[in-house]
Amino acid sequence: MKVFITTFFLVMFAVTVYAQQTQKPPLHGKNWMAVTGKPLAATAGSMIFERGGNAVDAACAMLAATCTMWDVLSWGGETQALIYNPHTGKVIGINALGVAPTGATVDFFKSKGMNYPPEYGPLAAVTPGTPGGLCTMLAEYGTMSLKEVLSPAIELALGYPIEAQTANSMERNKKMIKQWPYSAAVFLPHAGEEREAPEAGEIFKQLDLAATLNKIVDAEQQALKKGKTRKEAIYAAYDRFYKGDIAKEYARSCKEQGGLITEEDMAKWKVIIEEPLKVNYKGIDVYKLAQWTQGPVMLQTLNILENFDLKSMGYNSTRYIHTIYQAMNLAFADRDFYYGDPNFDPEEPIKGLLSKEYAKQRAAQINPLKNDAKAAPGDPYPFEGKTNPYMHYLKDRGLAYTTTPVDENYMDQLWRGTTSVEAADKEGWVVSITPSGGWLPACIAGHTGVGMSQRMQSFVCDPALNPFNVVEPGKRPRVTLTPTLAMKDGKPFLSFAVQGGDTQDQNLLQFFLDMVEFNMTVQEATEAPNINTDQLYLSLGGEDRKPKPGYILLNSTTPDFIRKQLKEMGYTLSFEDRTSGPINAIYFDWKHGTLWGGSSNHGEDYGIGW
C-alpha cells in the first residue's frame, strides 16, 4: 500500500509541475521568431526581420547587439552556431572560436606558477572569433549588408540606457577593471565618485567600439563601390578586422597590457564551417557542434538514457533524478578526459563515444540504488576498433575527486554565463548560437573598444587531466558553449540554447526531455525545475576544479520525501528557486504552420515573434 501511495504521488507530482501556468507567456508567430538574452537585443533582431532580412541576418544583428551590451560577452569573444539551410536540408556548424596565441605553451604558464591559464586579463585571451563568425554567417547564408545588420549595434555603441544587471557588474568588479586603463575608461565613467560605474538607465557610451564597427562597415562599403559582390564586400570587412588597422591596434594593446596575441596570430586565424555531430533519440535527430565544445556530452547522455524508460519513472521523481544524474556523470567524465580540438593530434575517439553500443555499456554501469562517487571516464576505443593509448592516465581517476564544500565562488565558476541567440523564419532558416567570451570584468584591447576573450582558461596544462586539451599555440580550447538543433521527420523540430558554463548541456538535456518525454510546451520546458550535477571537472575558474561527488542542485519545490530518498542514496543537496536556465528556444509547430518561442523566466532573456 505504501509503494502504491508513493507511486501515485510521484505521478501526480509529475503532472502538476508541468501543467501549471508559466510565469512568462509563450511567444507565437507565423513569419519569424527572435529570442535572445536582452530585450534591446531581441528588438534588434525584430528590426532586421521587419526590414526583410532572414533568420541569419536577424541572428547576426542580435549577436552584434548582445556583444555591444556586454551580455555577458564582448566582440573579442567566440561564436559557436548551428544553422539549418532549408535549400539544402542540411545543418551547418560554425566554429568561430579563437586559438591560443604565439607563446601560449605549458612551459610558459608553469613558469608563472600556474596549473591553468588565468581566468582574467590579457593572458586569458584567445584570438577574437565573434567578428569573423558574424561576417562568415552573414556572407554565406544571410541576405543583407553588414551596414544594415550592424546598424542597431552601432546605435547602441553610441549610447543606450544601460540595465542594472550589467551596470552593477561593472561596479562590483571595478577593482579588477582598474588594472586595465582602456577598460576603466569605458566601464567607470564616474572615476573618483562613490559609484564609479554607470547607474541603471544612464546612457552608456562606447565611442571607440562605435568607431571600430564603423571601420568594418566602411571597409564593406568601399569594396561595394569597387564592384565587389555582397559576399566579397563582407569578407573585405572581415579582413580589415583581422589583417588591417584594427588588428594592429588589438595586438599592440594586448602586448602593452601583458598579453600574447600578435598581428600574425590575428591574420592566421580563420572561421571553420564544419559538419556537426548528431544522434537519433526516439526518431529525433539531435545536432551538436563537435568535440571542441562540450556539446557531444548531451548526445552521449541521450544515448545512455535511451536504455531506460524515463517516462514511466515520472517527471523529477527520485528514480528519474537519480538516473539523469548518473547518466550525466558518466558522459561528463568522458567529456573531461576525451574532448579537445579535432584539428590537432591526438585524435579524439568521438565515434566510439557516440556509439549506441558504448552507451549500453555505460548505462549498465549505473547503480539504481546509490550515487557512484567514483564515476570515471570509460574506454570508447574498442567501439571504433582501436586500443586506448591513455589508459595509464585513467588509473585511480575517480579517487582524485574532492569533497570540499560547494561555495559561492564554486557556483560562479560552474554557472559562469554568456547568452544565447535563437532565430527562425517562414522560409525555413533556423539559427542557434551560444556566443561568449570577453565578459565583465574584461580587458579592453586599446582603442578598439573590444573586450578580449577569457577562454584560454579552459585549456589544461597537465595531459593526465585531458591529453586532448593541452594548451598549444594555434589550438582551440574545449569550450562549454553548446547550441542545439533537433530535426524530426526531416524538418526542424527545436532550436535551443542556454547560458551557464558546465550546466549548459545539463539544462538543455532536461529541457529536451521535458518536451519529448513529458509533453511540455516550449515555455513550460524553459521554466521547469531541473537538477544540476557538480560531479564533473570545472571548465572555468581557478585551481580547484575537481568533481564534487554526489553534490546536486535541486529546485526548492522538491518534496521532502524525495529529498530524504536522495540523501539516503548518497547525495548532498542544495536548493535554488530557479534551476532551469536561462534557456531560449523555438519550437516548430508543423501541424498549424506556426512558430512557438520560449524564453526562460530566469534572467533578462526576451523574445519577439510575428
What is the per-residue pLDDT across 254-284, written as a single tens digit (0 to 9) for each? 999 999 999 999 999 999 999 999 999 999 9
Q: What is the DSSP letter of 273?
A: E
Query: What is the C-alpha separation between 76 and 215, in angstroms, rounded?
Result: 16
Mean pLDDT (whole number) for 426-454: 98
pLDDT in tens, 51-102: 999 999 999 999 999 999 999 999 999 999 999 999 999 999 999 999 999 9
Torsion of CA 334, 336, 339, 341, to 10 degrees: 180
Q: What is the DSSP letter of 347?
A: P
Q: Region 516-542: what's the mean pLDDT?
A: 96
Tens digits of per-residue pLDDT, 566-594?
A: 999 999 999 999 898 799 999 999 999 99
**Tell me: the pLDDT tens digits for 277-332?**
999 999 999 999 999 999 999 999 999 999 999 999 999 999 999 999 999 999 99
Q: Please report the pLDDT score of residue 170 as a whole number.
A: 98
Reference 473, options 341, 322, 374; nearest CA is 341
The band of 10, judged by pLDDT with boundaries at 50, 70 and 90, is: very low
Tell me the pLDDT tens digit for each residue of 365-420.
Answer: 999 999 999 999 999 999 999 999 999 999 878 776 776 778 878 877 877 778 99
User: In Å, what is the CA distance from 224 to each residue of 57, 138, 234, 486, 541?
Assistant: 18, 15, 9, 37, 45
Residue 457 has pLDDT above 90, yes or no: yes
Provide the mean pLDDT of the chain. 95
Residue 34: strand, helix, or coil: strand
Q: How confident is the model at residue 542 (pLDDT cuts 50, 70, 90)?
A: confident
The pLDDT of residue 400: 67
pLDDT for the residue 414: 77
Query: In the prediction, which pLDDT does 9 show?
Result: 38
pLDDT of residue 20: 65
With 50 as the cut, is the pLDDT of residue 3 above it?
A: no
| Domains of the chain (ranges, CATH numbers) | 33-88+103-266+435-456 (no CATH), 275-417+464-470+476-602 (3.60.20.40)
